[in-house]
Amino acid sequence: MKTLLIKNAYVIDPIQRISGEMMDIAIRDGKIVDDVKNPDEVIDAHGMLTLPGGIDSHTHICGTKVNFGRYMSPEDMRAVRTVRKGAMHATSGYSVPTTYGNSYRYSQMGYTTLLEGAMAPMEARHTHEEFRYTPLQDCFANTLFDGNWFALEAIQDGDIKRLAGVLAWYLSSVKGFGVKLTNPGGTEAWGFGKDVSCIHDPIPRFGITPREIIVRMIEANEMLNLPHSVHLHCNNLGKPGNYLCTLDTYDAIPNLNEKRQSLYSTHVQFHSYGGTSWNDFCSKADEIAKSVNSKPQIVIDTGQVMFGKTTTMTADGPMEFNLYRLYNNKWSNHDVEMETGSGVIPVLYRRKNLVNAIMWSIGLELALLVDNPWQCILATDNPNGAPFVMYPKIMALLMSKEYRDKEFATLHKSTERRVNLPAIDRELTWDEIAVMTRSAQARAMGIVDYGKGHLSEGAEADIAIYPIDVNTTDPTRDYERIIEGFGTTDYTIKRGEVVCRRGVCTSGESHSTYWVKPHVSPAYDISTDAVFIDKFNRYYSMRMANYPVAIEYIGRNVCMESETSL
């Protein structure tokens, strides 16, 4: 059993309510323990900022759409290249790097846990294969159900227990983690050449509305007692005036869980738009924040836009087509049989583009106007709003009004009339940044009890030591130091092993894939249901027996079992 002792660490751990205490952290066999005698290794943190490993609860790093983004943009793959160095593989790519590129760059920033935001069940093998080559982070995969015909039929029939059974079978079969809805009903309508304008439009063939899909999925999710809530990409992404649809959606969300939220609403910047067209486009982040502040059952992430080239990718096929018509750039759409769809298009966000400048402002406004940092998670919807390597700059913008004002002065001159950002004085604290980059994610994903997001005894020894002296660093003025410090850790520790030291990473072999297995009664075991089996074999291009992902396929893994009310 290997032992490690970290001495003189300046610890912030919001889950334990530790706010800047000088501590020693003892580790044995990958877990945090009370003490170790004669440790195999000692690290002196010299009073540097020490946090639990970072968690990205919504990113796109593995899977078929990510891989399509790679070969769709060879210029992106040439933009950043690194040669093999020691145990580090050669990498390439900026907005959609290779798997090793993603893993090293996240590790250099102190991130140890990643949630892939959207996995088509039928294409799960590809996602899991790429997880195995993301060696320095534990990985989870939200599983798409927005256009799943078996789920939609159960909702159409008003049979929530059958819906829960369908969700349970798919999640267990493809080794998924959470229920993801992307433009619920809209992507299915897109298969018929249509879309939905908001949550009250019936979708073709099924006659049910997005509102029914969202609410029933939440109810089924809670029946299964899953660790994570439903993870929602709202309807009408990226359209002027869509904030009304977002507010309407939030008003429909029931409060069904005492430990965590009932809904995780993702990349909310893209859903906080006012105006009736691009001519009067404006921010409505204040209205969205007001709604979130009154609803403890909702957690959001920001979907921050940053300026520069990136690649957008989503299961929202109609949205990507609309984006293609705006940019007239390369574009791809994809339909995944009876399940979902997707789209990919490269984009360039410009400071002097008024719409892009407003989008940049909205993400920051959300983070500053939502009162409770546990309800507002820092994310870029990587790579849609920006590549995740922009996180340190976003942290600095949120901690320093001086830096925000400096950046705002470079934007399109009409931006100030359309947003609230210049009037917001709030500057986030070290503790709030810690919440928004690891603690809130762990709670929202339901993985605190699995040792994630905190440094208490028995927790996974996932730790980030940043070269920042909190006592001598004023984040409101020293924003360049914040960017540099959060950009490269002195040490990133994964399960008690140093996996990255001052930007140099190891090969790392301690990562795991986490997946859920709800236990349902025989009456709702869909794998034995004759109607389900017959329809599956009739309409899918593969036999049901060949569909599940074998446990041997995903290597080291953690099965998160749950007892259900079915």
Hey, where are the domains in the chain?
3-52+459-505, 142-448, 513-563
Architecture of domain 3-52+459-505: Roll (2.30)
Q: Collect all residues with Cβ–Cβ distance below 8 Å to 468 and sequence separation of at least 6.
A: 48, 49, 481, 482, 485, 486
At which residue do the structure tokens 């349970």 appear?
Answer: 168
The torsion defined by the Cα of 362, 367, 368 and 371, in degrees rounded to 10, comes to: 130
Nearest partner of 92 among 80, 103, 102, judged by Cα: 80
Q: Collect all residues with Cβ–Cβ distance below 8 Å to 349 and sequence separation of at least 6.
A: 305, 306, 307, 308, 310, 356, 359, 360, 386
Q: What is the pLDDT of residue 508?
A: 74
Structural tokens at position 342: 């997707």
The torsion defined by the Cα of 85, 89, 91 and 95, in degrees rounded to 10, comes to: -110
The torsion defined by the Cα of 72, 76, 80 and 86, in degrees rounded to 10, comes to: -10
SS3 label, residue 4: strand
Would you say the C-alpha torsion 61, 66, 70, 75 has a positive or negative sign? Answer: negative
Do 130 and 99 touch, CB atoms closer than 8 A? yes
Distance, in Å, from the CA atom of 294 to the CA atom of 360, rounded to the nearest integer, reads 25
Distance, in Å, from the CA atom of 151 to the CA atom of 162, rounded to the nearest integer, reads 8
SS3 label, residue 407: helix
292, burial (CB in 10 Å: exposed 0-12, middle 13-18, buried 19+): buried
Distance, in Å, from the CA atom of 540 to the CA atom of 535, rounded to the nearest integer, reads 8
Residues of the chain with pLDDT under 50: none
The torsion defined by the Cα of 224, 53, 115 and 317, in degrees rounded to 10, comes to: 140
The torsion defined by the Cα of 397, 398, 403 and 404, in degrees rounded to 10, comes to: 90
String of DSSP letters for 442-501: HHHHT-GGGT-S--STTSB--EEE-S--GGG--TTT-HHHHHHHHHS-SEEEETTEEEEE
SS3 label, residue 145: coil
Q: At what angle do helices 149-156 and 530-539 cross, to 10 degrees?
A: 130
Indicate the helix (H) or strand (E) that contains 151: helix 149-156
